[in-house]
Amino acid sequence: MTTETNTSTSSCCGGSGSCGSGTTSDVQIVGTGATTTVYRVSGMTCGHCEGAVSKEISALDGVSAVTAVAKTGEVTVTSTAALDEEAVRAAVEEAGYELVGRA
């Protein structure tokens, strides 16, 4: 998978949004001691966008699962401890998108 640069709110699909779909969950604490946080990311419109964001966030220390949903603009991240939001922001920007904040 390649990483693209995207400095606007459009995406690799030209903003059509026709290839993104899925579901997400609210912020929660999972019984295994893991922390799950939902972030809002702007600019994702398709599966490729979801994959690019997921790949970059997955590389952060402690991250065990990432689910990005272009349709809602939400990214659910499960990690062993709370993540530094600036590290998450940098990962999202590396993928070519913008972290809006927590959902």
pLDDT tens digits, 15-28: 544 454 443 333 44
Calpha distance 36→8 (Å, rounded): 28
- What's the token pair of residue 63? 């991250």
Q: What is the pLDDT of residue 32?
A: 64
Residue 65, burial from CB neighbour count under 10 angstroms (0-12, 13-18, 19+): middle
Calpha distance 24→86 (Å, rounded): 22
| Full set of structural domains in the chain with CATH | 28-102 (3.30.70.100)
Rg (CA), the chain: 13
User: Does residue 35 contact residue 79 with C-beta atoms inside 8 Å?
Assistant: yes
Mean pLDDT of the chain: 81
Q: What is the pLDDT of residue 76?
A: 98
Answer with the residue of higher pLDDT: 56 or 14: 56
- Locus of tokens 């959902």: 103
pLDDT tens digits, 42-54: 999 999 999 999 9
**Does residue 56 surpass a pLDDT of 60?**
yes
Decide: pTM greater than 0.95: no
- What's the token pair of residue 73? 């603009």
Strand partners, 37: 77
- What's the token pair of residue 91? 């990962």
